Chain A
């Protein structure tokens, strides 16, 4: 048997980073926080440059920013919330850009750590979405009207409400934020671990001997998976934003 130096690092080694400054407490600043700051600066810079000299015929950065705006408006807001949702455009565009940039660090050399592979950021964003859609629901329908439209969906036989009401209540107020955050977090963590696994396998096979026939296979798969992770980063940003739009739209317009 070949002496494979195959040692997978434990999960804590690839997701927990030592503090750079700020001590070891809750205010510690590590690689993940720095990447988050860079993401914010990148998005802020892009939209500042795009908005500084607005032209009728967009060029350069303005062109790029308008393409993102159009994508979110036509692909997400108009399809799920209708024209009334357009006032949420700034929030949703920023959310899409922020999630995408924090995800894409997964495949950028040197960084190679998706910020959303730590649950803090997805959980925070899910709580933010939860607060916003409940606030909009209460604002549009009143507190008891909103609670009624959530717990008693119309078109259900009266006797079934014993079953439907607890399910609807739990799924709207507890499962929604939980699944929203866990979906983003688990997708990014799984992708990160997948890439780490294939890097470890490729490195182990390479030390055994580059002439080994299966080494290029695992290396090729690593390259292909890196491309796949770019797709996942876009898709997760898209899904998080579209679910936000669906939740807010659903709270504003109850089913009749």
Chain B
């Protein structure tokens, strides 16, 4: 009963504001899942390659950064989008 009274006292805009904050969190959090796994795979395989053939480490490192850059872009779109959501 007390809880209902507290809820009833809320300003009308407060709920929307709170939900917007939750939405921003979800947008960025969801966008970070895939790239997180993807970057793990990219770097893990790059380390395997470097350990097997240390002499090709330079080439592998360049390609690894390229792979990270492409994968990371999705997470960054999510980061920017989280500011745009109901901004």
Which of B1-9, B11-19, B44-52, B72-80 forms contacts with chain A? Answer: B72-80
Binary interface profile of A, 164-197, with partner B (CB < 8 Å = 1, else 0)?
Answer: 0000000000000001001101110110000000
| Contact across chains for B80 and A239 when beta carbons are under 8 A apart | no
| Contact across chains for B76 and A183 when beta carbons are under 8 A apart | yes
Binary interface profile of A, 32-57, with partner B (CB < 8 Å = 1, else 0)?
Answer: 00000000000000000000000000
| With A179-B73, A239-B69, A243-B69 as contacts: A185 and B62 at CB distance below 8 Å | no
Q: What is the size category of the interface that chain A forms with chain B?
A: 10 to 19
Shortest beta-carbon distance from A87 to chain B in Å: 20
| Contact across chains for A183 and B73 when beta carbons are under 8 A apart | yes
| Contact across chains for B65 and A235 when beta carbons are under 8 A apart | yes
Of the candidates B65, B68, B76, B80, the one having the most CB atoms from chain A within 10 angstroms of its own CB is B76
Which residues of chain A are near B66, meaning CB under 8 Å? 239, 242-243, 246
Partner of B76, one of A11, A182, A242, A243: A182
| Contact across chains for A186 and B76 when beta carbons are under 8 A apart | yes
Roughly how many angstroms separate A186 CA and B74 CA in the complex, as a whole number?
11
Roughly how many angstroms separate A239 CA and B62 CA in the complex, as a whole number?
9
Of the candidates A75, A179, A235, A243, the one having the most CB atoms from chain B within 10 angstroms of its own CB is A179
Which residues of chain B are near A187, meaning CB under 8 Å? 76
Roughly how many angstroms separate A186 CA and B58 CA in the complex, as a whole number?
27
Roughly how many angstroms separate A79 CA and B58 CA in the complex, as a whole number?
9
List the 4 closest pairs (A to B, CB-CB), nearest first: A186-B76, A179-B73, A239-B69, A186-B79
Interface residues of B (CB under 8 A from A): 58-59, 62, 65-66, 68-70, 72-73, 76-77, 79-80, 83
Other CB < 8 Å A-B pairs besides A183-B69, A190-B76, 10 of them? A11-B83, A75-B62, A76-B62, A80-B62, A179-B70, A179-B73, A185-B80, A187-B76, A242-B62, A242-B66
